Amino acid sequence: MPDVEGFWAVVPAGGAGTRLWPLSRAGRPKFLLDLTGSGRTLLQATVDRLVPLTSDRVVVVTGAAHAEAVRGQLPDLDGARILAEPAPRDSMAAIGLAAAVVERTDPDAVIGSFAADHVIPEVGAFHAAVREAVEVAREGHLVTLGVEPTHPATGFGYIRAGDPLAGFATALHAVEFVEKPDAERAAAYLASGEFRWNAGMFVVRAGVLLDLLGRWHPDLAEGLRAIAADPSRLDDLWPGLEKIAIDHAVAEPAADAGRVVVVPAPFGWDDVGDFASLSSLLPHGDGPVTVVGDAADVTSVDTEGLVVAAGGRRVAVVGLDDVVVVDTPDAVLVTTRARAQDVKKVVDALKASGRTDLT
């Protein structure tokens, strides 16, 4: 199939992934890592997945500290397509800057934003959904890909979908975005069948996104367009931009205004938020222990769980029925899949004790 004319991918590459410590660090964030042992980092896999739709129309937005590493991992991407943020100003500024830059090149362009650190194994289904989303977006809608929930997750926001959108195969009107629910509400959302996970995959005409932003945050929209018009003003204007997430800045008010459409995302999706999530993504080998790295480095006896052998050392586990061991050259983590979310507390404790060299 040919690529999708006039469609640009925007890849925000940010976030440290503190729940994946000690693999991920502030200086070596999740998106730069080959967590699944596929031979490609999450960033590279994200771009690989998009190129059949966009050809070379991919823009990556990342922190200045990581721009060099991103360039190194994406040698085929024109360096001008890698936008370096002087400092983090949340997702609206990052995606909005890319939208403004794309808008100047192609005023009718449709952009799609896809985080650099998510995993989508079923590429064919992903492509089909994005192709429909682009067609819907050309009509002026803000489209979000809605992931079918597989469990009552409390770590994601949800979108409530309504009636079908006339003229399209699967698209639905979006009723509202809702924030991360508690466990009880998450279970109710799952049971209702009306709710989908908001995976942050927005597809929209660049000009529409900036015009919608202009309705509710005019200074931010104007600042982003000013930077795109004169990139030399980036360092000057960036610090004054409003720090706000794209969901709050545009998606939620646009849904209230009836401007948002959901295209169902009938494919597996994972944000690799912690080691339990990583474990579930990996193919299970011969034994009850899933190994990332060289399985020959691991000796396990009566154990189930995940071992990441990234320290070049022998890792031996004996008699644990749910364990996560992550071995790296300067730190080793031991936890369980059940407690994987609390790995963040280790990073917090290290920061509190001044050991930012390890975070």
Backbone φ and ψ for 152, nearest 5 degrees, come out as: -75, 70
Question: DSSP readout, 169-207?
Answer: SS-EEEEEEEPPP-HHHHHHHHHHS-EEEEEEEEEEEHH
Residue 90: which residues within 8 A CB-CB, separation 6 or more?
243, 244, 245
Assign residue 241 a region (left: φ > 0; alpha: ψ between -120 and 50; beta: otherwise).
beta
Q: How far apart are CA 157 and CA 129, in angstroms?
A: 20
Cβ count within 10 A of residue 313 = 12
Q: Which is nearer to a second copy, 247 or 274 (CB)?
A: 274
Q: Which is nearer to a second copy, 125 or 331 (CB)?
A: 331
Q: Which of 75, 76, 55, 77 is nearest to 7 (CA)?
A: 55
Q: Which of 248, 260, 247, 165 is nearest to 208 (CA)?
A: 260
Residues making contact with a second copy (CB under 8 A):
21-22, 299, 301-302, 311, 313-320, 323, 325, 327, 329-336, 338-339, 342-343, 345-346, 349-350, 355, 358
Q: Which is nearer to a second copy, 19 or 141 (CB)?
A: 19
Q: Which is nearer to a second copy, 174 or 346 (CB)?
A: 346
Q: Which is nearer to a second copy, 174 or 315 (CB)?
A: 315
Kindly state the smallest distance separating residue 330's Cβ from a second copy, in Å. Answer: 5
Kindly state the smallest distance separating residue 92's Cβ from a second copy, in Å. Answer: 33
Q: How far apart are CA 168 and CA 252, in angstroms?
A: 23
Kindly state the smallest distance separating residue 21's Cβ from a second copy, in Å. Answer: 8
Assign residue 300 a region (left: φ > 0; alpha: ψ between -120 and 50; beta: otherwise).
beta
Buried b (16+ CB within 10 A) or exposed e, 63-83: beebbebbbebbeebeeebbb
Kindly state the smallest distance separating residue 294's Cβ from a second copy, in Å. Answer: 13
Residue listed under structure tokens 């029925």: 321
Q: Which is nearer to a second copy, 257 or 338 (CB)?
A: 338
Kindly state the smallest distance separating residue 312's Cβ from a second copy, in Å. Answer: 9
Kindly state the smallest distance separating residue 152's Cβ from a second copy, in Å. Answer: 21
Kindly state the smallest distance separating residue 328's Cβ from a second copy, in Å. Answer: 8
Report the side by side order of strands in the sheet with 305-309: 289-293, 305-309, 323-327
Q: Which is nearer to a second copy, 163 or 330 (CB)?
A: 330
Q: Which is nearer to a second copy, 178 or 332 (CB)?
A: 332
Kindly state the smallest distance separating residue 278's Cβ from a second copy, in Å. Answer: 15
